[in-house]
Amino acid sequence: MTTLHNGQTDALEQDGQKPPPSNQRPWRRWLLYGVGGLGLVGLVVYAFRPQPVGVDLATVERGSLQVTVNAEGKTRVRDRYVVATPVAGELQRITLTAGDTVTAGAVLARIDPLPLTSQVQATQARRRSVEAQLAGVDTQRPKPEALTQADTRIRAAQAQQTQAQARVRELEAALTQAQRDRDRMTTLHAQGAIARQDLEAMELAATQRQQELATARQQVAVAQADIDAAQAERDRLRAEQQDPDYLIDVYQGEMAALDAELASLTADASRTTIEAPAPGRVLDILEPSARYVAAGTPLLTVGDPNGLELVIDILSTDAVRVSPGDPVYLDRWGGDDTLEATVRQVEPAAFTEVSALGVDEQRVNVIADFVDPPVPLGDGFRVNAQIVVWQQEDVLKVPISALFRCDADWCTFVKEHGRAQQRSVEVGPRSDFEAVVAAGLEAGEQVILYPGDQIEPGVRVRGR
């Protein structure tokens, strides 16, 4: 059937020809409309169809893995000597500088010996004086007149004591009478028979009697003390009169004390020259200027900078995993190579240190020795240490970023046939970036890194 356009129909009408019937044209139009509608529906369905979620993928593979404890540490001279002044005195200026090489016995500093020398001479003079007194012991025997005077002092003190005791008895009677009078006056005042002023006068009299009695009793005690002192003096004089040899013991004791003091001063005078205890280099000058220093003041430190060790402070929770013999690797120390060391000791005691966040932390020092000394480092240099607490060459491992907690287990999302599938994983030792897979994954499988909220079991995924 032939389809005519509008222009052709008008031409046929003008030529007297009849146009074809109009019911032969609409079905073609509807066919085109149907095909277009189906295409539009297909486009809408495709547009609203869920698209695969773009994810980062990693492949589970076999390889080597190291579990490390990472911390900052510093180098330290193993045999460090802090040289201190053994005696107090005027320190002369130290001419050495940090880095100077010294030998054992080399002079490091000096203390002015003159004050100690003067003390030695003064002590020697005191000893000669005591020695002279010891020689004149026989001339120091007390005379009989001294004993007579001591007896006279005792009798005088006893007489004063007797007089004071009589005074005490007299005042005790007066106090008793005054207290009775006060009590009667109190009763009369209560009855209104006397004035308040009379009662206060009687109370004042009783108080005065009591104070006088206390003074008299003190005089008795003073008299007794005088008697005791006089008797002690008489006993001493009698002892000296009977046997003056005790003075010999006294002077000999003084001489022994002076001899000990003289020996100490002589030894101190000989230690005014301070020498190096061992060969090495001067690490630090603590007191470079001349001034008076007390005994025990640190002056400088000496040590061998080639005999370095590492001091690495780590958390006590990490220290329980470190053992002597564990390898230590140092990077970012200023050179391109990685330095190696070995753990020698984990100190048995922890200490408290405040972190940068203001939290108290219990930390432990780990001491390590360099594998190939000497190293291009000095005393107190900062290093970044990695202590290897576990390592194995051929293990199945997965990135830590692919794991997450599901209840009490570890889980991960595995890409299977274009979809994410959750799977439980048994994890072994792990480092900061990877973990050993004990069960749940196979080599070659792809896992999703950093799974977000969009990742659920069955969701279509695609690698980015």
The confidence score (pLDDT) of residue 198 equals 75
Which tokens go with 52?
């695969």
The confidence score (pLDDT) of residue 173 equals 83
Residues of the chain whose pLDDT is less than 70? 1-25, 44-50, 137-144, 239-245
Which tokens go with 382?
């900062």
The confidence score (pLDDT) of residue 140 equals 63
Establish whether domains 69-76+303-391 and 85-109+278-302 are of one fold.
no
* Domain range list for the chain: 6-48, 55-64+393-463, 69-76+303-391, 85-109+278-302, 142-243
Q: Regarding the domain delimited by 69-76+303-391, which CATH topology (the fold level of the hierarchy) does it fall under? A: Elongation Factor Tu (Ef-tu); domain 3 (2.40.30)
Main-chain dihedrals φ then ψ at residue 190, nearest 5 degrees: -65, -30
The confidence score (pLDDT) of residue 240 equals 66
The confidence score (pLDDT) of residue 241 equals 63
Q: What is the DSSP string of 98-143?
A: TT-EE-TT-EEEEB--HHHHHHHHHHHHHHHHHHHHHHTGGGGPPP
Q: Regarding the domain delimited by 85-109+278-302, which CATH topology (the fold level of the hierarchy) does it fall under? A: OB fold (Dihydrolipoamide Acetyltransferase, E2P) (2.40.50)
How many helices, marked H, and strands, marked E, lie in the chain?
A: 7, 22
The confidence score (pLDDT) of residue 45 equals 62
* Class of CATH domain 55-64+393-463: mainly beta
Q: How far, CA to CA in Å, does 84 sit from each of 94, 100, 287, 298?
A: 13, 18, 10, 4
pTM for the full predicted model: 0.56
Classify burial at 185, counting beta carbons within 10 Å of its beta carbon; exposed 0-12, middle 13-18, buried 19 or more. buried
**Contact (CB, 8 A) for 297 and 94:** no
The confidence score (pLDDT) of residue 29 equals 73
Which tokens go with 75?
């180098």
The alpha carbon of residue 440 and the mean position of all alpha carbons in its chain are separated, in whole angstroms, by 46
